[in-house]
Amino acid sequence: MTAVGYSDFNGLDILVLHNVNHRSREKRLVDVGFMLNVEDSHTINYSMKKLVKAELIEGTKRGKEMFYKTTAKGQKVCQEYRKIRELCLVETASSTDRNFAEISKSATVLRGVSGLYDQAARAAASI
C-alpha cells in the first residue's frame, strides 16, 4: 500500500479494503469478518473506521446496520495496488517454470483442509 501512497495501513486494513471492494457490492461488518475468518469484530470495525477517515470506503446506515462500499478513490487505490501486485508477483511467478494448474489444485486442497480444521475447532469448542 505504501507504493500507492498509503503507508499507514496494516495488513488487516488492506484485506478489509479489498474485501469491501470485491464485486462492487455493499457489505456489512459481519460479512467482511466472515469472509476474512476474523471473529473479533472490533478489529474489523477499527479498520473500517480508518478506511472511512481516509475516504477509501463509505458507510450507509439501513435500519440498525451499516453497509460499506468503496468510494471512487478507494476503487482507484485497489486498481493501483492490483497493478503493482501483478508487476511484482504475478509476472515474476509466470517467468518460472512452475505448473500453475498444479499450484491451483494444491490451493484448493489447502482451503478444504482449512475448512475441516475450522469445523473441528467449532465442534471441539462445543464439547
Read off the pLDDT of each residue in 40-66 and give the average, rounded to a whole number. Answer: 96
Q: How far apart are CA 8 and CA 2, in angstroms?
A: 8
- Greater model confidence, 58 or 99: 58
pLDDT tens digits along 5-43: 999 999 999 999 999 999 999 999 999 999 998 989 999
What is the per-residue pLDDT for 42?
Answer: 96
Instruction: Look up cell 475450522; give the residue.
Output: 118
| Phi-psi map region of 76: left, alpha, beta (phi>0 left; psi -120 to 50 alpha) | alpha
What is the per-residue pLDDT for 33?
Answer: 94
Kindly report the CATH number that applies to the domain delimited by 2-96.
Answer: 1.10.10.10
| pLDDT over threshold 80, residue 51 | yes
| Structural domain boundaries in the chain | 2-96, 99-127
Q: What is the DSSP letter of 109?
A: H
